[in-house]
Amino acid sequence: MTKRIFQGIFWVGIYLIITLAPLLILLAGPRPVGREFWRDLSVGLGYCGLSMVGLQFVLTARFKVIKAPYGSDIVYFFHRQISLVTFILIAAHPLILFVFDPQHLGLLNLVTAPWAARFGVVAVISLGVMISLSVWRKRLKIEYDRWRIWHGILATCVMALAMIHVELRGYYLNTLWKQLFWGLYGAFWVGLLAWVRVIKPFLLLRKAYLVEKVIPERGNAWTLVLQTMNHEGLRFQPGQFAWITAWDTPIRDHEHPFSFSGSAMDSSQLSFTIKELGDFTASIKNLTKGQRVYVDGPYGAFSIDRHPNAQGFVFIAGGIGITPMISMLRTLADRGDSRQLTLLYANKTLEGATFLEEIEKLNLMLNLKVVHVLESPPEGWTGERGFINADILKQYLPADFKQNRVEIFICGPGPMMNAVEKILTKIGVPLGDFHSERFDLV
């Protein structure tokens, strides 16, 4: 735990250094004469915003060493939130110029404005469009793959246009060493983009998997079982996830995130259980034996293996949120683990509970207490009804919330997870002792 804390602090420090480096370096040494404070402030905010745009590529590049201290969902959440801050900083750059010198409004005319201004204006517009499409993607009913492609194109355009804008203005690139720095800085972002869009996809092509079988499951879900193809496979921690590409190649960037559902003790065979919700997920059942599939992973910090000293675990799942939980339960069973386990599993009906039969078998193999919470229970049902609430949690959670004694894992629909997290906080569960997995990465 201490190691992860230091790693997290380290990467936050690196983020701040990279964000501020262009500003500090380009403002060091001789500065252009006759420039007012508000103009320098405008430029400074622009440089910081440009650095943060570049760092967005790092946040989404899936470098495991960076995401390890936080988990992918936290990193993507930060990516979304910091995008708004980035836009504010970049938009403030021209706005300050307009406020203190309204004559600069003429730079908005793309017909008569200098080329440097044209590139800058188009960069800001592209950034605004990119963020708007992300915020309102679902409301606009933009298909995920199409949005992802355009998101990448717009992000690349924003970075390229902004770099050209800075180069053409050139006010703060007035020494050789500053020009060299800016050249290396640009080369770094080009190299990063090449890694994400070209090199890594080609490496994934060399480690394809073959479809072994597709198993129908309760709850309108399908388990995709994959076998390695001329390679050793990958090792993952139970509860983690990977990005899957099917019906296409990694080069096309048509991939989707899913949790592993199999035991982590077998690296040659991978299993993913996917609920049919439309778009890509509706095609899983049509995959055939021997078809190639590509897997990029593992990712995520949602795992019992990150808490080896815990005396027990509580799993709170809703619907298909059982997927990472079944991976952890299967792994614990294969390891012969004897720690105390509790599974609170919420579904609309018992018939729609994915892995219902296997959970009953695992109940006999592990020190596991299973509690089904049904919204529409069958006649004669004597178990828990409705939704997972404070009364149910108080009844089945340990009475003593001693820190790091019992770790709680939550996965399911967003409203359920939000409600459970609020209840856990209210009843005194330490913040670091419950962990959530969300797949709303956009």
Task: Determine contact, residues 32/174, Cβ cutoff 8 Å.
Answer: yes
Tell me which of 1.20.120, 1.20.58, 1.10.3470, 3.30.70 is the CATH number of domain 2-203. 1.20.120
Nearest residue to 195 (alpha-carbon basis) of 250, 249, 256: 250
Helix (H) or strand (E) holding 218: none
Q: What is the pLDDT of residue 247?
A: 85
This prediction has a pTM of 0.81
Q: What is the pLDDT of residue 387?
A: 93
Q: What is the pLDDT of residue 349?
A: 94
In CATH, the number for domain 304-437 is: 3.40.50.80
256-269 burial, b for 16+ CB within 10 Å, e for fewer? bbbbbbbbbeeeee
Task: Determine contact, residues 360/349, Cβ cutoff 8 Å.
Answer: no
Q: What is the pLDDT of residue 322?
A: 95
Q: What is the pLDDT of residue 250?
A: 80
d(CA 69, CA 132): 30
At 68, phi and psi to the nearest 5? Answer: -55, -45
Write down the domain spans for the chain.
Answer: 2-203, 208-299, 304-437
Residue pLDDT tens, the chain, 442 long: 566 778 778 888 888 888 887 777 766 766 666 667 788 788 888 888 888 888 888 887 777 777 777 777 778 788 888 889 999 999 999 999 899 888 889 888 888 999 999 999 999 999 999 999 988 988 888 887 788 888 888 988 898 898 889 888 877 776 777 778 778 877 887 788 788 778 888 888 888 999 999 999 999 999 999 998 888 888 999 999 999 998 888 877 778 889 999 999 987 789 999 999 877 888 899 999 999 999 998 988 899 999 988 999 999 999 999 999 999 999 999 999 999 999 999 999 999 999 999 999 998 899 999 999 999 999 889 889 999 999 999 999 987 777 778 999 999 998 999 999 999 999 888 888 889 887 665 5
Task: Determine contact, residues 121/108, Cβ cutoff 8 Å.
Answer: yes
Token readout for 174 is: 């007035």
Q: What is the pLDDT of residue 33?
A: 65
Q: CA 157 from chain center: how many Å?
A: 22
Superfamily of 208-299 according to CATH: Translation factors (2.40.30.10)
Contacting residues for 229 by C-beta, under 8 A, at least 6 apart? 207, 208, 209, 210, 292
